[in-house]
Amino acid sequence: MFRRLVRDESGIALGMAIVVVVLIGVMGAGLLVFVGSDLKTVVEVNQGQVAFETADAGLKVARRHLLGGSDPVEYDGVTNPAGTPPNPESAWSYSGTGRSFDFNGSTFNVKIQYLPPVTAPATPTADQAPEVIPAGQTALPNGRNYYRVISEGRTGEARRKVEAIYNTYDLDIPKAYFTPGSITVNGSACVTSVSLFAQGDITLNGSGSCATGGHIAGTDEAYKTWQNAINPTARPTTSAGFGATGTVSAKVSGRDYDSSTCPKFVANLSNDSSCPDPPGPPRITFPFNANNTIDLRDLESTAREQDLKTAGTTHHFEIADSTASVTSWPSNSSKDTVVYYKFVDGTPGNNLLKWFVSGSCSDNPAKQGTLVVEGAGFTTQPNKARFQGVVIVREGEFVPGVADDGTSSDSGNTCLEGFVNASGNITISGSVTPSSSADLANRPGFYGVRQWSWRELYQ
């Protein structure tokens, strides 16, 4: 009997094995569900983090873009290219689709909105600058403008959106002819509505040809009486004039100041003065920080970026020869245009760049923008294209009060509307006029961009 029962249970192992396999399969399937769910969650979290970092990278790209062009009219949501003045809208504006970029396998879209200020005591709304214009003023101090930047990053199915508010601010770069060396004005040259400043001497040769006589005429468009927070001593006139820490030859009392006038023209207000006080202020100085200088690397980056944005034109040149000429200028140029000539042969004292663009002083429209010359001197040839902008000339690093070979000169009949900022001596033989103050307010190189606020948007 017992033996028969044993023989009847001879197949039980197979049944138990089948049951175990089924149980393990069920448990494994359940485990896979949990593992798959966790893996999907991890992937989504990782994609979300990458999308967030991509969106934040978009903010930095927008800041870099604003350094190369921050005209409020391009981001105010109004499009009127035929207006006076024209009111174009940038492709980056919030009123359109914004700019989209691929970034390391992800994408981001950026939009920029100008935030206009209100005058105190009004309270700003969400679409206005977070800072109010002080009572009695017409604009925010120090050239500030505010912009909202919204950047959305996408990675896979994940989306993240961040917002930053940036404000531009004036770098207090001289908005006039300026050099740590000396300036010479020759013959019949007439300088109109822009002052000349030197940390050396200013020499006036000849009688000049300004309508009022002499070498300079008109109102100083940028600095008026030269009085501001840096220079508390006002001149009794708003006429354009000469200021030098050395001497000014043939100076006009009350308009021009140097080391022999009272007030005495000094490099900074801590310098000694032999002038009595009273009867008046013993010192007068530059209406800007003479130690501030253009950031060449920033302007070089802007020129390279414009090469990438504008097909068929060149904004950045590396010159191996000792002499070169500017023979063409980017079409449809504006004040934001930057053209950079960098001499790389290592002999800056022997190098020279010539303005040789075909045209005349009556060209309409004029060539516009900022011309940067690094590692060479600069000269303007007569009867060439009308240039409306700024010329920056550097032999090497700018050293306040020390002139180098980064000189600028012209040979008469100069078609320059603007000014020259050189690290060496400046010679003016032709007539020059100013750029407008509005033209300088948002010119690349003359302002900075800093972050005012940041937040992540959950929408």
DSSP string covering 183-248, please? EEE-TT--EES--EEESS-EEE-S----TTSSSEESB-TTTTTS-SSS--PPPS--B--EEESS-B
Contact 176, 194 (CB under 8 A): yes
The C-alpha atoms of residue 352 and residue 375 are separated, in whole angstroms, by 9
Q: Which of 15-19, 26-30, 91-95 shows the lowest per-residue confidence on average (mean pLDDT)?
A: 26-30
Q: Can you give the pTM of this predicted structure? A: 0.85
Whether residue 435 has pLDDT greater than 90 = no
Domain-located, residue 64: yes
Written as six digits, the tokens of 107 are 């994408």
Q: Over 60: is that where the pLDDT of 279 sits?
A: yes
CA–CA separation, 52 vs 151, rounded Å? 10
Question: E strand or H helix at 330, and its extent?
Answer: none
Q: Note the pLDDT of residue 26.
A: 62
- Residue owning tokens 């590692």: 375
Instruction: Return the bridge partners of 426, or none.
Output: 183, 408
State the average pLDDT over residues 81-94: 84
The gap between the terminal CA atoms of the chain, to the nearest Å, is 80
Residue 265 near residue 257, CB atoms below 8 Å: yes
Asked if pLDDT for residue 1 goes beyond 90, the answer is no
Q: How confident is the model at residue 32 (pLDDT cuts 50, 70, 90)?
A: low
- What does the pLDDT read at residue 129? 96
* 309 in a structural domain: yes
Q: Residue 182 corresponds to which tokens in the numbers above?
A: 């000396």
Q: Is the pLDDT of residue 436 over 60?
A: no
- The pLDDT, as a whole number, for residue 439 is 63
Tokens of 103: 């970034």
At 128-163, the pLDDT tens digits run 999 999 988 888 988 899 999 999 999 988 999 999
Q: What pLDDT score does 22 carry?
A: 64
What is the total count of domains within the chain?
A: 2
| Residue range 440-455, pLDDT digits in tens | 668 999 999 999 999 9
Structural domain ending residue among the three candidates 108, 138, 170: 170
pLDDT for the residue 90: 92
Q: What residues have CB less than 8 Å from 287, skipping those under 6 apart?
A: 223, 226, 227, 228, 230, 231
The answer as to whether 84 is a domain residue is yes
Among 170, 192, 213, the domain-final residue is 170
- List the domain range (segments joined by +) for residue 364: 296-446
Examine residue 456 and state whether it is found in any structural domain, yes or no: no
> Does any domain span residue 360?
yes
Is residue 17 a part of any domain in this protein?
no
**Tens digit of pLDDT for each residue in 187-209?**
888 888 999 999 999 999 988 88
Q: Looking at the domain assignment, is residue 41 inside a domain?
A: no
Strand partners, 203: 184
Residue 310: pLDDT over 60: yes
All residues at 6 or more sequence positions from 173 whose CB lies less than 8 Å from its CB, including other chains:
288, 292, 293, 294, 421, 445, 446
- Tell me the pLDDT of the chain averaged across its residues: 87
The answer to whether residue 362 is domain-embedded is: yes
Q: Which of 147, 170, 193 is the last residue of a domain?
A: 170
Q: 385, exposed or middle or buried, with CB in 10 Å at 0-12, 13-18, 19+?
A: buried
Q: Are 414 and 408 in contact (CB under 8 A)?
A: no
